[in-house]
Amino acid sequence: MGALATRLLIARTDLPAALGMPTLGAEVLATAVALGGALTLLAAWALVGRRRRRSDHPAESPRADPVPDPLLEARLVEAHRLLAERNELLAFVREVLQSRTADLDRLREEQSAVAGRLDEARAVAERWRGQHERVVAGLQAERARFEVERSRLSEALMRSTRETSQSAKELIDAMREVTRRTREADELRAEAAHLRAELERLRSPQQSARPLADI
Q: What is the pLDDT of residues 105-115, one digit of tens each?
A: 999 999 999 99
Pairwise CA distance, residues 111 & 103, whole Å: 12
Decide: helix, strand or coil at residue 37. Answer: helix
Rounded CA-CA distance 186/192 in Å is: 10
Confidence of residue 51 (pLDDT cuts 50, 70, 90): low
Residue 91 lies in a domain: yes
Check whether 154 has a pLDDT greater than 50. yes
Question: Between 69 and 14, whose confidence is greater?
Answer: 69
Q: Which one-letter DSSP state was computed for residue 49?
A: H
H/E stretch holding 23:
helix 23-56
Q: Which domain holds residue 39?
A: 2-53+71-119
| CA distance to 3, 38, 85, 97, per residue, from 43 (Å) | 20, 9, 15, 28
More confident residue, 159 or 12: 159
Mean per-residue pLDDT for 118-144?
Answer: 92
pLDDT at position 121 over 90: yes
Decide if 194 is inside a domain.
Answer: no
- H/E stretch holding 136 reads helix 70-214
pLDDT > 50? residue 19: no
Q: Is 27 inside a domain boundary?
A: yes
In a domain, 102, yes or no: yes
Domain presence at residue 185 = no
In a domain, 89, yes or no: yes
Mean pLDDT of the chain: 76
In a domain, 39, yes or no: yes
18 occurs within a structural domain = yes
Calpha distance 3→42 (Å, rounded):
17
Angle at CA 99, nearest 5°, toward 92 and 18?
A: 85
Could you give the number of structural domains in the chain?
A: 1
* pLDDT (average), residues 108-136: 92
Identify the band that residue 142 occupies on the pLDDT scale cut at 50, 70 and 90.
Answer: very high
